[in-house]
Structure 1
Amino acid sequence: MSTEDVFSFAKEMTDSVICLRAGGHHLQAAMLTYVAIEQMAWLSVNPLRSGPADFQNWVNTYMQPYAPLPCTAREIWEARNGLLHMGTAESSANRDSAEIRRVCYVYGNTPKLANKSVGVVFVRVEDLVTSYLTGVMWFLSHLDGNPSELQVAEGKIARMLTQRPL
């Protein structure tokens, strides 16, 4: 067993994100990054289904300790919900809870923004992508030392709709 299939999948997702960013589609790149995080979280758990707790656990375990974002895993989950489901910077949790800040996106050489807005946090799309990539590397390192978890991930990769060499 090796992590080659998981790495190959992560590389395909990353190449797609880079293609979107290169074309100036920064929000779409953020959307695909959230999808990639969700799929990595799914690979990290034994049941065939995963949910918000698994996503947040993957972010807390593999992204935040090594390439932290200025928001919590819960805020990243809610940002994902807002962007993927409604194309907005907010989700219902932002409206229902003062504890969950709204994530607003910036990209490129945007100068560091002085955030004077309560309930808002700014995330550079590039930082989201970098944090995801860092998380992938730590996840692969974890799988290298945990054959039973690698077997679960490999089984799920085999189920995914991806291009396979002929």
Structure 2
Amino acid sequence: MNEHTVFKFAANLADSITHLRNGGHNLAAVMLTYTAIDQMSWLSVEPDKHGPKDFAAWVNDYMLSKNPLPCTAEELWVARNGILHMGTAEAAGHTTNSSLRKLVYVAGDAKLTANNPTEYAVIKFEDLFGSFLAGVMWFTSDLQANTAKLEVAKRKMRKMLRDFGVDS
């Protein structure tokens, strides 16, 4: 098992996301994209449990620094919570930090007709997905160059694959 296993796992997720999006299942595609980001960020840290700071660090290191989006990692975390836990673009507790904007999603050729950049950031699904894919490339490259990080990811990948009955 090596960084290629992580890449193959991410590629399978990306394929699933693409099928959802092509089938018109936009909410499910966004949900799975956030789940995929979550899983990659979990693979990048030593403790088995990870949280918002680890998610934000992975997003900053591998997504936003290489392929910027019009939002912050913290805004993506709040949006992730809203989408995954409530199926909405808003998360409970969003009001605890008034500087964080709500994310509004568009896909394909959809155009936004109103804009209030102090309240929300507009994210094209394709840009979010593309940034994730670029993040996977940078992450697997980092794993190849850093054996300590690779060992953490390999241990966690073995657990993920074992728990779902997949041979590594």
Same fold flag (TM > 0.5): yes
Name the TM-score, length of structure 1 as normaliser: 0.93
State the distance in 2 between where 1:4 and 1:121 align: 34
Shift of 1:148: 1.3
Alignment pair present for 1:164 and 2:166: yes
Q: SS of the residue aligned with 1:92?
A: coil
Q: Distance in 2 between the 1:62 and 1:37 partners?
A: 10
Identity, % of aligned pairs?
A: 48
Match of 1:14 in 2: 14
Amino acid at match of 2:153: A
Q: For residue 106 of structure 1, what is the aligned residue in structure 2?
A: 106
Unpaired runs of 5+ residues, structure 1, are: none
Q: Conserved in 2, the CA contact under 8 Å of 1:98 and 1:119? A: no
Q: Distance in 1 between matches of 2:105 and 2:24?
A: 14
What is the match of residue 76 of structure 1? 76
Aligned to 1:52: 52
AA aligned opposite 2:126: E
Q: Is the 8 A contact 1:104 1:123 kept in 2?
A: yes
Q: Which amino acid in 2 is paired with 1:164?
A: V
In structure 1, the residue corresponding to 2:122 is in which secondary structure?
strand
Amino acid of the residue matched to residue 55 of structure 2?
F
Question: Does the aligned pair in 1 maintain the 2:69–2:128 contact within 8 Å?
Answer: yes
Q: Which moved more, 1:2-11 or 1:138-147?
A: 2-11
Pairs within 5 Å for 1:87-106: 87-106=87-106
Report the secondary structure of 2:104's partner residue: strand
User: Contact 1:79/1:91 (CA < 8 Å) preserved in 2?
Assistant: yes
- CA deviation vs aligned residue, 1:87-122 (integer Å, no higher than 9, x gap): 111113433332010001110112466623531111
Q: CA deviation at 1:52?
A: 0.6
Q: Distance in 2 between matches of 1:130 and 1:155?
A: 27
CA contact (8 A) 2:106 2:112 kept: no
RMSD: 1.7
Report what 2:27 is aligned to. 27
TM-score (norm 2): 0.92
Query: Which secondary structure state, in structure 2, belongs to the residue aligned with residue 105 of structure 1?
Result: strand
- Cα distance in 1 between the residues matched to 2:96 and 2:167: 47
